[in-house]
Structure 1
Amino acid sequence: MSLFSTTSAEETGEPMAFTVAQLADRIKQVLNGAFDGELEVEGEIRNLGRARSGHMYFDLVEPPPATSIGKQPEASVSVALFKFNRARVEETLSRYGNMVMEDGMKVRIRGELDFWPPRGQLRVRMTGIDPRFTLGELEAERQRLLEKLRDEGLLTRNRAVPFPLAPLRIGLVTSNGSAAHRDFCEELEASGLAWEVVLVDTPVQGMDAPARIAAAIARAGRAGVDVIAVVRGGGARTDLVAFDDEAVARAIAAAPVPVLTGIGHEIDRTIADEVAHEAQKTPTACAGFVVTAARNHLVATEQAWNAITARTERLLDDSGLLLATVSRTTARAAEDRLRRAGNGLDGRAGRIRDLAQNRTRIEVRRVDTFAGTARHRAAAAVTHGRRTLEQARLTVATRARRTPAAATRDLANLEDRLRLLDPRVILARGWSITRHRGKVVRDPASLGVGEELITTLARGDLHSTVSENRP
């Protein structure tokens, strides 16, 4: 019976009978008649596999709506990209931003619809691809997400988080052992500063990368770090789609500390870059930004300490000059008081002497008439004069002694105040100053085990070595 003869079926009303090979051949002929030549199909790549033979196989699916998360695709067709066409397709993708086919990528492919009898499988034999469609889809999705994040105020939320003065504890979100991980850590080590890096390992490419990256950022935020660095090495534009994902953007915006990105691409900015506190071009540049921030804080601290030291030295110098000036002024004042007291004593003594002489002459003139009375009064006058003279002498002497004593007390008070400003007095109370390489140590975190220290005490210096560091 001929394959296309339907006489018996029409005459008898019985269904047509085929062998499996005949049915497969009939299906191929029907498909060839319905789909003459090449066609183009749009969809999302799933289950991508690369065979050792050089062929590539995947499913091209019609994904469910964004609101139907977790549901099966609405439609799916198998695609075969054979080795002789694969090289041409990969070269085309390479010319457009070094793109590489991977799961989750939206594509428009060109090929022929084919039925493969050995497996009874309907598939598309792929011969070409439109890279501009993929780039357009990526950019359209990117712009849609940017607008959504902007409307919710998430683009600037992380930038509003204050940047720490000394970001020495870093949460690093990247793939453990990757080039980005190595470059970032080498840049930190080269700075010579003391760092603590909390690594949160996560894949940075693939279907599950966005959710894993978002979870890693959240874990780093709970680890008590100063900043979070999200880094990845260079790659094709499609390799970076994980960093254009909404989950990653929301995780960065919600982070409790500033998030820095160092995603190795030079042309485009990812959504993660737009939402982050600071965006750098490479992992090395990202680490360099953190090093600069920490070093600026260290320099500012040293400058502040040097200013305090200089200010203290100026105050001590000024106090010394003031003390010398007060001492000279006090000495001159004491000399003046003594000189004035001496002059006053001489004047009083002269007046007393004149008074005594006058009284003596009066008594001499009256001695003849009142000899007994005059003698008695003369004796009384002499006695009174002596007492007055003695009292005057004692008064002058007392005042002369009090003046230098008061000056001496003032001088002693000034010396005591100066002594309180002397750093040696502070050291004598039990305080000490510890230095490392000539610089004062303020933070144990700045030292490593084995570092040599010099501690200045009231009576000398101690040399020691750090055996344990407990910030």
Structure 2
Amino acid sequence: MSQKKVYTLSSLTQSIQNVINTQCSKVVWIKAEIVKLNYYPKSGHSYPTLVEKKNGKVIAELKGNIWAEQFQMINQKFKTVLKEELRDDMTVVIQGSVNYHPVHGLAINITDIDPEYTLGELAREKAETISRLKEANIFDANRRQSLATLPKTIAIISVETSKGYGDFMDVIKKNPWKYKFHFLLFPAILQGERAVATINQQLEKIRIHAEVFDAVAIIRGGGGEIGLSCFDSFVLAEKIATFPIPVLTGIGHSTNETVTELVSYQSFITPTKIAEFLLQKFHDFALPLKEGEEKLKNGVNWMFKTRKTNLRETARLFSSLTSRATDNSRSSLQQIIFRLMNLSTQNFRNQRNLLLQSQQCIISAARMPVEIEKKNLKFTEEKIRMLSPENILKRGYSITRQNGKLIKAADELQPDLLLETQLYSGTVSSRIEQLKKP
């Protein structure tokens, strides 16, 4: 019996290493998705998990190695071209070679990553998001919302310690016109892979109390232009597009607008511009009001001044005429004044009489339908009284009952029972001697 040949594990892995590193050491370009970057700041190395997906399912997976020197170079290229750091969930084209290590296993040693391809992928994803929003007919939905004339109560989604939030609050609180606002901060992460989830969570909290707020302000600043691709997410853009109150965005960048900004009610380059916009809304309302107040004040002052001047002029002329007049003139003037007073008194009396006559006419007109209805009611009462059983009996009629039952016809009678006849005065009991039916 032949003896089995047994290899050590290290010799097997060494053989694998020799084959792979010899046959697969060629440097190639590979398209993959970075699921997890696995960057370690202390060492500066990164060990990304690379996958390929088809219809949402992973069909290939491999580990990558990016040593510290290469990682710094690659990350800087991404910052320059994409305005974005290398991160999770990013589709890339990498340059590297397959390497096998007896302990660490199979991996790709990554020496370069082309940011231009990733830039194209991000642009494609952005265009796809816009297309989906338009197909759903919600791209302009938030812009169709109505912003209050005086938006006083604002929900803010931001980081409390961010420079953008601080700048926004400084402009609002230090406005020279002392306009007052009410703000409530909903803290969220505003860049990177966690931004979409945290912003959506805070938007949902605001939605529950949407009737309290006039608008939502998404404020980001102080972080440069890195990490903005989250604002091209369909999930976030859809949430903002369909939000029930206006959403104002100021995420602090000067490049092409993100999808989030495109679907918001209004976007601004910086958080400070949002603050200036809100102050301008108050200005647009307050200035015409102040101008109207000033016009009214000036008009009243002019009217009083004019009337006062006319009154003084009249008094001066009257005083002058009086001082020049002779005794006869004074007497004539007094007679004229007396007659004018009598005429005024007579006119007042005439007007008073007309008023009294009108009063009497109104009272008479109001009483007439009441009197007519009273007469109609009295006539109806009389008819009812005449038709009462008592009055009918009084005219010679009678009411006949048998066994308590009112008799209306002869065939209702029972010959063996007594009859009771009610007259106007008294009742009569009788027996039937003879019955004639019709």
TM-score range, shorter chain: 0.5 to 0.7
**In 2: Cα distance, 1:27 partner to 1:54 partner:** 29
Q: Which amino acid aligns with 1:299?
A: L
> Contact conserved, 2:82 with 2:119, CA < 8 A, in 1?
no
Structure 1: 5+ residue stretches without partners: 1-10, 329-338, 343-396, 412-471
Partner of residue 57 from structure 1, selected from 47, 53, 57: 47
* Distance in 1 between residues matched to 2:162 and 2:100, nearest whole Å: 43
Unpaired runs of at least 5, structure 2? 317-328, 349-438
TM-superposed CA distance for 1:229, in Å, is 1.0
Quick one: distance in 2 between partners of 1:35 and 1:107? 21
Query: TM-score, normalized by length of structure 2?
Result: 0.66
**1:317 to partner: Cα distance:** 5.9
**CA contact 1:183–1:284 (8 Å) conserved in 2:** yes
- Checking the alignment, whether the CA contact within 8 Å between 2:149 and 2:281 is kept in structure 1 is yes
Match of 1:135 in 2: 119
Report if aligned partners of 1:78, 1:123 keep a CA contact under 8 Å in 2: yes
1:182 alignment partner in structure 2: 166
Report the AA paired with residue 134 of structure 2.
Answer: R
Residue number in structure 2 paired with 1:35: 24
Deviations 1:284-326 (A, max 9, x none): 2222222222233222332233234344445656777899999
CA contact (8 A) 1:175 1:181 kept: yes
Conservation of the 8 A alpha-carbon contact between 2:84 and 2:228: no
Equivalent residue letter for 2:171: E
Alpha-carbon separation, structure 1, partners of 2:26 and 2:144: 57
Structure 1 contact 99–236 (Cα < 8 Å) conserved:
no
* Sequence identity percentage: 24
Query: Structure 2 vs 1, CA of residues 227 and 64 (structure 1 numbering), >3 Å: closer, same or farther?
Result: farther
Provide, for residues 380-414 of structure 1, a one-character-per-residue CA deviation record: whole Å limited to 9, x for no partner. Answer: xxxxxxxxxxxxxxxxx9x9955323447999xxx
Corresponding residue for 1:102?
87
8 Å CA contact 1:211, 1:247 repeated in 2: no
Q: 1:217 aligned to 2:203? A: yes
**Aligned mate of 2:139, from 131, 134, 155:** 155
Equivalent residues in 2 for 1:371-390, closer than 5 Å: none
For 1:382-401, list aligned pairs within 5 A: none
Shift of 1:82: 0.7
2:240 pairs with 1:252: yes
Contact 2:216 2:247 survives alignment (8 Å): yes
Change in Cα spacing, 1:15 to 1:64, as seen in structure 2 (3 Å) is: farther
Q: Is 2:25–2:99's contact at 8 Å kept on the other side of the alignment?
A: no
Q: Which amino acid letter does the alignment assign opposite residue 35 of structure 2? A: R
**Alignment deviations for residues 208-235 of structure 1 (CA, whole Å, 9 cap, x no partner):** 3212212323333425222211121255
> Is the 8 Å Cα contact of residues 192 and 228 (structure 2) preserved in structure 1?
no
Q: 2:279 matched to 1:291?
A: yes
Q: 1:81 to 1:315 in 2, by over 3 A?
A: same
Normalised to the residue count of structure 1, the TM-score between the two structures is 0.62
| Per-residue deviation, 1:19 | 1.4
CA separation of 1:160 and 1:405: change in aligned 2, threshold 3 A: farther
Select the residue among 316, 340, 349 that pairs with 1:403.
Answer: 340
Task: Please give the secondary structure, in 1, of the residue aligned with 2:37.
Answer: strand
Q: Which moved more, 1:90-99 or 1:168-177?
A: 90-99
Q: 1:195 is matched with which residue: 181, 200, 212? A: 181
Distance 1:185 1:15, change over 3 A: farther
1:20 aligns with 2:9: yes
State the partner residue of 1:117. 102
Q: Which amino acid aligns with 1:403?
A: L
- Cα distance in 1 for partners of 2:300, 2:205 equals 47
How far apart, CA to CA, are the structure 2 residues paired with 1:410 and 1:22?
Answer: 133
Q: Residue by residue, what CA displacement relative to the aligned partner does 1:46-77 show, whole Å, maximum 9, x if unpaired? A: 33233212211221123464xx5xxx744322
CA RMSD in angstroms comes to: 3.7
**Aligned equivalents of 1:303 and 1:220: distance in 2?**
37
Q: Secondary structure at the match of 1:139?
A: helix
| Residue equivalent to 1:92 | 77
SS in 1 for 2:254: coil
Q: CA deviation at 1:206?
A: 2.7
Distance 2:142 2:150 in 1: 18
CA shift digits 1:98-127 (9 cap, x unpaired): 4311112221111111122223x2211110
Partner AA of 1:53 in structure 2: S
Secondary structure at the counterpart of residue 250 of structure 2 = strand
Q: Is the CA contact (8 Å cut-off) linking 1:41 and 1:110 kept in structure 2?
A: yes
Q: Which shows bigger deviation, 121-130 or 306-315? A: 306-315
> In structure 2, do the counterparts of structure 1 residues 270 and 409 end up closer, same or farther at CA, with 3 Å as the change threshold?
farther
Residue identity matched to 2:112: G
Distance in 2 between the 1:15 and 1:271 partners? Answer: 66
Q: Whole-Å Cα distance in 1 between the matches of residues 9 and 150 of structure 2?
A: 75
- Quote the offset at 1:236 in angstroms: 6.2
Q: Mark the CA change 1:324 to 1:54 in structure 2 (over 3 Å): closer, same or farther.
A: same
Q: How far apart, in 1, do the equivalents of 2:94 and 2:81 lie? A: 15
Equivalent residues, number: 334
Q: Distance in 1 between matches of 2:58 and 2:170?
A: 45
Equivalence for 1:243: 231
* Structure 1 CA distance for aligned equivalents of residues 314 and 147 of structure 2: 51
Pick closer, same or farther for the CA change 1:29–1:172 going to 2, 3 Å.
same
2:26 is aligned with what amino acid? G
Residue among 249, 260, 276 paired with 1:272: 260
- Kept after mapping to 1: 8 A contact 2:77/2:115: yes
> Within 2, Cα distance between the matches of 1:409 and 1:159?
71
1:18-49 per-position Cα deviation (integer Å, ceiling 9, x unaligned):
31111211222332354241122222223323
The alpha-carbon deviation at position 270 of structure 1 amounts to 0.5
C-alpha deviation, 1:154, in angstroms? 2.2
Change (3 A) 1:160 1:132: same
Give the Å deviation of 1:87.
2.6
Contact kept, 8 Å, 2:36 with 2:88, in 1: the verdict is yes
